[in-house]
A = this chain, B = another copy of it.
Amino acid sequence: MTTAAALIIGNEILTGKIDDTNTRYLARELFRLGVELRRVIVCPDDLDTIAADLNALRAAHDYVFTSGGVGPTHDDITIDGVALAFGRPVVRSEEVAAIIAHYYGDRLTEEHLRMANMPEGAQLIRNAEVPWPTVVIENVYVLPGVPEIFKMKFRALEERFRTDAPFVSHAVYTLCDEGTIAARLSELAAQFPNLTIGSYMKWDDADYRVKITFDGRDADAVHAAADALVGSLPEEIVVRRE
């Protein structure tokens, strides 16, 4: 079982100024790749907190992804936090500095060059499509908060994370009441112990009331469990499956 965690760094998330959309993106992509995202922490722009959280997460998971705090301004302290976590000094990558200098040209400032900082001994990973490298140190991947760049960088890395046991998910959308269906779901959960069965009520004006999901690495079991549920429901309350 390959596991992962995410550390979302930024006061802007904790004050509600910026919506964190990276968690959902990462969650979906890791699920698709067969990696189990077990924990997400949102922490403030505080060096000691970042370092302590990162150390706890990296010890307990195969991969840790950080999001945010990698720009040129004073509130971007992720690299310092990662370096602190690993007990390493921050050094400047001359290679990244050269990319930055070329990109900004006459507009280059010393602060732009902060984006060339990295913990000593970190790797820089890039590919042809994404020339801006990603800082990786042991099992920690340092990604930016800006969603478009987060996605671009993740896509360039994703083949590293792909497992040979991707998850299969099947959803049954129903007009059930959760309380009415609960006993049946408990039976199915007992009958299919390797599956995760979830039940999610929808409150707005969707065309269904409860979505039941079956997740697991065994496609046959996923579909057998979903079939078993559908077979026990009156036909008219099953809206669709997907």
Binding site for B on A (CB under 8 A): 8, 11-20, 23-31, 36-44, 71-75, 104, 107-112, 114-115, 146-149, 167, 169, 177-183, 185-186, 189, 196-201, 203-204, 213, 215
Alpha-carbon gap, A182 to B196, bound state (A):
47
Number of copies of this kind of chain in the complex: 2
- Give bound CA distance, A11 to B199, whole Å: 11
Contact B12 A213 (CB under 8 A): yes
Give the distance to chain B from A4, nearest Cβ to Cβ, in Å: 10
Rounded to whole angstroms, the CA-CA distance of A36 and B23 in the bound complex is 21
Asked if A75 contacts B25 (CB within 8 A), the reply is no
Residues of B within 8 A of A38 (CB): 14, 44
Q: How far is it, in angstroms, between the C-alpha of A71 and the C-alpha of B182 when the chains are bound? A: 10
Q: Can you report 18 residue pairs joining A to B where beta carbons are below 8 Å apart?
A: A11-B196, A12-B200, A14-B37, A15-B27, A16-B26, A16-B28, A17-B169, A17-B213, A20-B24, A39-B42, A39-B44, A40-B40, A74-B182, A75-B199, A107-B177, A109-B179, A115-B179, A147-B203
Q: Shortest 9 CB-CB distances between A and B: which pairs?
A: A16-B28, A111-B182, A16-B27, A112-B179, A40-B42, A73-B199, A72-B179, A74-B186, A73-B182
State whether A19 and B13 are in contact (beta carbons under 8 Å apart), knowing that A72-B178, A72-B182 are contacts in the complex.
no
A104 CA to B179 CA in the complex, in Å?
A: 9
Contact present for B12 and A19 (CB under 8 Å) = no
**Assembled-state Cα–Cα distance A189/B11 (Å):** 15
What chain B residues lie within 8 Å of A72 (beta carbons)? 178-179, 182
CB pair A183–B109 under 8 Å, yes or no, is yes
* CA–CA, A178 and B112, complex, Å: 8
The answer to whether B37 and A40 have CB atoms under 8 Å apart is no
